[in-house]
Structures are given as C-alpha cells and as structure tokens.
Structure 1
Amino acid sequence: MVSIRKSLLQFVFAGSYMKRWNDKLRPVELLEVDKQAHKMIVAWLLYQQNSDDLDDTSRLRLGSDIIEGGIFDYFYRLVITDIKPPVFYRIKDNAQHYAQLSAWVLDELEPLVQPLGEDFWGRMRGWVQRPEKNSRADRILDAAHLFASNWEFRLIESLNRFDDEIEDIGASFDAKLAGFDDLKGMDSLRHATGAVGRFAALCGQLRFQKRWSQTPRIPETSVLGHMFLVACYSYFFSLAVNACGARRQNNFFIGLFHDLPELLTRDIISPVKKSVEELDAVIKEYEEAELRRKVLNPLEEEGFGGIAARLSYYLGLEVGSEFTEAVVDNGNVLAVDFELLQSRYNHDRFDPRDGRMLKTCDTLAAFIEAYTAVRNGISSDQLQAALWRLRDKNRRTVIGPVHVGALFADFD
C-alpha cells in the first residue's frame, strides 16, 4: 500500500532552501532543487543517446534506474546538506565511515520514504548500501551531476578570480568530465555544441526565471526547480495508482519538461492567461510555434528525431495538452481518459502517460510554494487568494486511491 503524505512532499520541497556554492560570490542564488532538475534533464538526454543497443525491456529498466537513482541521490543529499562535498568524498573513501553515515541517513529517511511502499523503500535501501555504483545508469547520473555542477561553476567562475580555489575547481571539473567522453553525446553537452548541447544549456537558464514574479516569497522558486518538484510528485502518484513501468517513467519526464515552453514566453500566471477571452489559446499557439522553431526542428535537422519525438509526446503536442492522458495504440497517439488509461492501457506496450494526474501534481507544487511562503511570514492578498483557490478547486479531486482533497486539507 502506497501512501503520499504531507511530510514527504515538504521534504522534497526542502531543496528550494539549499543554497549551492554558498562560500563563493554568486550573481544569483544557486539552489539544490534547480541543480537536480538540470541534472535529470541532462541524464534524460544521455539516456536517449546511450540506450539504442538495448531491447525494450532493458531500455525501460535503464530509464527507471536513472529516475530512481536520481531521486535516491537527491534524498541522500537533503539529509547530509551540512557536509561540504570535499568532506563527503573523504568519507566515501573510507568504507566503514561511509557505511555508518549511510545507516544514519536511512534512519532519517525511513519515516518519510517508507510510506511509498516496501518495494520503493527496499530499492532505496539497496541503492544507499551498494558501495560501488558503476552501472550504466550510475555513469549517466554521475556525468549529468558533473555537467550540472560545472554549468553552475562557469556562471560564478569569472566573479571569483580572487579565490585561490577557483583554478583547481575548474581543472577538476574538466578532468572528471573528460572521463565520461565514452558516453554518446557527452562531448556535445560539455561544449554546448549542436542541437542537444544547446538544448541542455537552454534548459539551465530556467533557473533564472522566477515563479510568482510579482509576489514576494520565501523561498523564491524557479521554473526549473518547480519542474523537478512536479516530476517527483508525479512519480510518487504513479506508484500510488500502481502505474506500469513505462507510465511511471513517462510521468516523471513529463513533469520534468512540462514548463519547457516557458523558456520562450516566461511564466505567465493563470489569472493573466484567463483575463482576456482566447488569450490562453493564443499563448499556447505561440509557445508551440517557438518550441518547434528553437528546439524540435533543430533536433530533427541534426538527426535527433527520436529526442524531438519524445519531447513532443511529453508535451502533448499530438493531443493538444501536456495535461491530457495519452497512449500509443498500433502506432497512433490517442487521447484517452483516466479511467480507460487505468483499466485498459496500463501496460508498457501502450507507452501510457497521465494528464489529469500531472495537472494535480503541478497544482500541488504551486500550492506548497504559496503555503510555505505564508508559513514563513510572507502573507499577501495574492498568496492567500491562491491558497484558497487551489484548495477549493481540489477538495473533491480523487486520483485512483489518492484523495487529493484530503492531502490538501493536511496543510492547515
């Protein structure tokens, strides 16, 4: 039995407080949740390019290992947040010390993660207790982790020339990243060349784009970090409804990319979209046109049609919305409803993906952003109105066995 609880949702959100490069001069705040989002986007790009030799079952397993490995690593880092990376790597080099630290981390995580089910909790325990992480999924995640960290470092590098650590840090990144050049696409990613490399760099810029930009909040959240929250929440909901492996995987990546068009239009709040008749449709039409021009067409032109096709499916371009349930039946993308998805199409062979559930997770993440700000003493008419509207809109929402209204009610 899988249970989704307030404590877990807030724990995932805690990465919005974790500042990165906190001992360096920074042009903007760099946050853990943003880095995790960028890391998982890069991991997905590497996954797409380094799984062509696998059969469907092995490919699906690799994708699941990447997703869960990324989530497990994030949870681990949230617990050891006060340990600086150089100290942590020293601990990892000592098997006994690392085992002791990991046992403590698991004790801290158990009450938060175990409600997601014994299977998920068992996989996390196995991941934490496995000393050597050298599988294909591990290497893809390690490469993506280094890429995202290096991307942040290059932002602050020129501002910290006075710091005698900077040159060594830069050289260390170069050497470590070069060790992953055997992965397809890594060279393009490292040098931001080609459509894939430019796309990865473009996604990183979503950390600069703040949500609720006209409303003061603590903490502020970016579009990039929000996408990672929705991805995680979608994966947890997928476990709760007993989604098949392909559906769980699709739902995570849909959450991770669902606001990608905001690279091109900025974050436009719902009241503005709804203020003028048909404005929402005009914005969506413009988003799709720009998405095709700046992202999908360049990918297709350079031979990455498979990546472009997956992005199109995740963003719901064939069915009109990323929040519409869809399946692939006999090669055709079909829009379906949740009940049909759950009863007939919940099998890997249909490549199923949720819609309404993704929208619920998007709403839940927005609610937690507003709720946390108010709890931190930043109360405004806009935030109070948003809390009331989101809670009221979802008070009767039920997704499979999950009563979403009751979950919202837990945030008193």
Structure 2
Amino acid sequence: MSSIRKGLLQTVFSGAYMKRWNDKLRPAELYEVDKQAHKMIIAWLLLQENTREMEDEERRVLGDRIVEWGIFDYLFRLVITDIKPPVYYRIKENPEHHRQLVEWVQGELEPVLSTLGADFWMRFLAYFDPARKHELADDILAAAHCYASSWEFKLIEGLNSFDDELDVIRESFVEQQAEFQNLKGFKGLMDPKTHALGRFANLCGQLRFQKRWSQMPRIPETSVMGHMFLVGCYSYFFSVVQDACPVRRQNNFFCGLFHDLPEMLTRDIISPVKKSVKELDVLIKAYEDEELERRVFQPLRAEGYTDIADRLGFLLGTATGSEFHDCIEVDGNVELVDFEKLQTLYNDNKYNPKDGEMLKVCDELAAYIEAYTAVRNGISINELNQAMWRLRDKYRKKTIGKIHIGALMSDFD
C-alpha cells in the first residue's frame, strides 16, 4: 500500500540547499530546485506546443512521461550532486560505468520512493533502463533543461569574463540549442524580446529572485519558484497515493507548479499581512487577476496562443475564483465539486479533474517544511515557531482521502 512519508518530502526539499554554478562568480545564488521549476515550466510550454494535433490518449501519455521523468531526473540529480556535468557526461559514455552509477543511485533512493508503491518504483527503474527507446518526452525534457541552464548561464556570463571555461560552456549551449530547432515552440522560447512564449518563459524565470518569508532569516532561503516546484512534486505524490487518474495527476502537478505565478506581479505577501486589513486579500487577488490578464494572458492570445492562455487559466482557477477549488470540466464548462466526488464519481480522465483542497494542503505542507528546516538549522525565531504551531494545529485532525495530514506532520518532531 502506498503512503507519503517524511523522508520523501525532505528528499525533494533538499534541492533547496543544492547550489548551481558554485565554481563561478554569481550575481545571486542559483539553486537546483529553482532550475527544476523553470525547466518544468518550459517542458509544459513545449508539451502544449507539440500536442495540438495529437489524440487525447497520446497527449495524456506524453504528459505522464514528462511529469514523472522530470521528477525522476531531479531525484537522480539530487543524489549525484557532487558530480559536475562534464564528468557525468563522460561517465555516460561508458555503459558499464553508467550502469553502476545508476544502480547505486537507485539503491540510495529506494527507501524513500518505494513508499509510493510498487508501480511507481517500477516506473522509476524502467526510466533508467538502457534498453528503453528514445521518445519525444526525452527531447522535450532535454530542451527544457537546455533552456533553464542557458538562462542561468546568461546571468553569470558577464561576471566571468576572466574564466577560461566560458567559451567552452557557451559553445556547448549553442550546440545543444541547435539540436532542438525543429522542436515546436523552441525557437520562440529562445526569443524573449519579440516572442510571447519567450517573454513568458523569461518572466517566470524571475521568480527565482523572489524570496519567500523575505522579512525573516532562514536557512535555506527558498524562492517563490522553488516553492512552486516543491508543491508540484508534493501534489503529484499525493495524487499517486490517492490513486488519481493520469489526467488528474498531471493537472495537480502543473497546478502546483504554477500556483504562485501571480506573485511575480505582486511579490510574496505573507498571510498575516493579507489578513491585517479588512478585505485586503480580496484587493490583492483582484490586482493579481488584472496583472495576469495584462502581462500574461493578453500577450499570449495576441500572438495566437489562446489555447495556452486558457489552459494556464484553468490551472490557476480563473473560472472558479481560486486554484484551491476542486473542479472538473464537462462539455467545456468548469464545474466545482468536493473532494469526495472528485475521488469517486469524477476520478476519470474524461472529466479533466483537478484537486484544489489537496493542493492547498501541499502548499501549506511545503511552507511547514520550510519553517521546520530553518528552525532545525538554528533559526529559531518566534515567527517561524508560530507558523509551525498554527499549521500543526490546523491540520492536527485533518485527513484527505487516504492521507492523514496531522500524522504526517507529527513525523517532523
């Protein structure tokens, strides 16, 4: 029987410690969890661009591959954190050495991933099978990885003119980008000045610089972008345990991945501030909606990407008023339902189901782990301890489907 455990959640969170480009001069710290968020946002855009002509089932399967394989890649990277990419690529060139490395990584991850059930663990093993055939999902994830890494490189390039590795790195990105020129949407993504997809991807990247809990010290500091990725992963794992249908699992991951997107327009405003003035949270929500329409949805629609704007709107809950509402789609209309009906009557791909209540739990669980980790690392200030107490008290008796949230939080003692 599958379950969610503390070890799995903490393993995913550990990417918030993992620095990137740490042998280069950097204008700001760059972390693995942020890069993965940016990568999966790009993968989602490429998924939309490359599936317009596909049948529903073919599109669903590709979406499954992209979400799970993206998570698998991230978990693998967490374990081999000390191996620089050039060294890892050399290891991959030797099948026997690569096999030994993969088996070691799988052994390290089995204790935390096996709790999600035998089927999930077998899919993880199958992904790294050297006999597995190359698929479109591999190209999309590789292109998304290339974009996110090259976006980071452009940030540090000007500060490292003295570095003799710079020309080699720059040329490697040029070669990689050339491989994806025929992938639908990739050229547009690489043009942030004149193309709507490129502007949107670039705008999302700026969420790396926006720190959560910015008014208080924490170790590690998490960004809004990294938090979005954590919530996406947690939502996906929760969905696996709830035996959610494939479309529901995908919706929940991408909803988690995008749920704080409006904060690139308003900044991260903590709940006590939002609730300090009557109806302030309503005013902030109205402003977020206006700015989303002006800076995201309108530019996409103006260049013919209405389907992407609509799909993003569905994930952000524009039709229901909040991304935290459980909903389905029937004949093109979004309808509100409760969790029990979502879990029983509408847990079917044809209803395009999406969890809102469970997403909210994952959002606050990620916040709890952020506070818990900071306190464990010695930042024991009143605000963090109070935040932990409020969340523990709120979810003490809370059960959602097969998961007891209070019991899960009690593991963090």
Structures share a fold, TM > 0.5? yes
Q: 1:185-264 residue pairs with structure 2 within 5 A?
A: 185-192=185-192, 193-264=194-265
Q: What is the CA–CA distance in structure 2 between the aligned matches of 1:403 and 1:73, rounded to whole Å? A: 29
| Aligned pairs (5 A) from 1:25-174 | 25-130=25-130, 134-174=134-174
- What corresponds to 1:346 in structure 2? 347
What per-residue deviation string (whole Å, max 9, x for no partner) do you get for residues 281-336 of structure 1? 00000000100000001111111011001110000010010000110012211011
Alignment deviations for residues 154-178 of structure 1 (CA, whole Å, 9 cap, x no partner): 0000000000111121111011111
Structure 2 residue aligned with 1:391: 392
Partner of 1:175: 175
Taking a change above 3 Å as real, the CA distance of residues 85 and 131 of structure 1, as seen in their structure-2 partners, is: farther
1:21 aligns with 2:21: yes
Q: What is the rounded CA distance, in whole Å, between the counterparts of 2:229 and 2:143 in structure 1?
A: 18
Q: Are the aligned partners of 2:368 and 2:388 in contact in 1 as well (CA < 8 Å)?
A: yes
Amino acid at match of 2:156: I
Secondary structure of the equivalent of 1:11? helix
Amino acid across the alignment from 2:380: S
Could you tell me how far apart the structure 1 residues matched to 2:219 and 2:264 are? 23
Instruction: Give the CA deviation at 1:54.
Output: 1.5
Q: Which residue of 1 aligns with 2:294?
A: 293
In structure 2, distance between residues paired with 1:130 and 1:260: 37
Q: Give the whole-Å Cα distance in 2 for the aligned partners of 1:297 and 1:361.
A: 30
Single out whichever of 203-212 and 333-342 deviates more from structure 2: 333-342
One-letter identity of the residue aligned with 1:208? F
- Taking the aligned partners of 2:78 and 2:190, their CA distance within structure 1 comes to 27
- Is 1:369 paired with 2:389? no
Give, in whole Å, the separation in 2 of the partners of 1:260 and 1:131.
38
**Deviation, structure 1 residue 237:** 0.4
Offset, 1:397: 1.2
CA-based RMSD of the aligned residues comes to: 0.8
SS at match of 2:158: helix
Instruction: State the alpha-carbon separation in 2 of the partners of residues 397 and 199 from structure 1.
Output: 37
SS in 2 for 1:333: strand
Q: Distance in 2 between matches of 1:30 and 1:312?
A: 29
Please give the alpha-carbon distance, in whole angstroms, between the structure 2 residues aligned to 1:128 and 1:215.
41
Rounded Cα–Cα distance in structure 2 between residues aligned with 1:37 and 1:25: 22
Residue identity matched to 2:288: E
Shift in Å, 1:43:
0.3
For 1:131 and 1:261, locate their aligned partners in 2 and report how far apart those are by CA, in whole Å.
Answer: 42
Q: Check conservation: 1:102, 1:129, Cα contact below 8 A.
A: no
The residue type equivalent to 1:295 in the other structure is: V
**TM superposition shift of 1:132:** 5.9
Distance of 2:130 and 2:234 partners within structure 1: 26
Letter in 1 for 2:204: C
Paired residue type of 2:230: L
Does structure 2 retain, via aligned residues, the 8 Å contact 1:37–1:228? yes
The DSSP-based 3-state class of the residue aligned with 1:365 is helix
- Secondary structure (helix, strand or coil) at the match of 1:129 reads coil
- C-alpha distance in structure 2 between counterparts of 1:374 and 1:79, whole Å: 24
Measure the CA separation in 1 of the matches of 2:21 and 2:2: 36
Q: Give the direction of change, closer, same or farther, for the CA distance of 1:411–1:43 in structure 2 (3 Å limit).
A: same
State the Cα distance separating 1:130 from its structure 2 match: 3.0
SS in 1 for 2:51: coil
Cα deviation per residue 1:63-89 (whole Å; 9 max; x = unaligned)?
010000100000100011111111100
- Number of aligned pairs? 412
Structure 1 runs not aligned, ≥5 long: none
Q: 1:66 to 1:12 in 2, by over 3 A?
A: same
Same amino acid, percent of matched pairs: 63
Q: Match of 1:341, SS?
A: helix
Q: 2:38 and 2:331 mapped to 1: Cα distance?
A: 34
- Three-state SS of the structure 2 residue aligned to 1:275 is coil
Match of 2:272 in 1: 271
Unmatched runs of 5 consecutive residues or more in structure 2:
none
What letter corresponds to residue 37 of structure 1 in structure 2? Answer: A
How much does 1:399 deviate? 1.0
Report SS of the residue matched to 2:221. coil
Q: Within 1, Cα distance between the matches of 2:159 and 2:280?
A: 42
Contact map agreement 2:324 2:356 (CA 8 A) in 1: yes
Shift of residue 131, structure 1, vs aligned partner: 5.4
Deviation at residue 190 of structure 1 after TM alignment: 1.3
Name which of structure 1's ranges 326-335 and 402-411 shifts more when overlaid on structure 2.
326-335
Q: Take 1:390 and 1:88, find their aligned partners in 2: how far apart are those partners?
A: 41
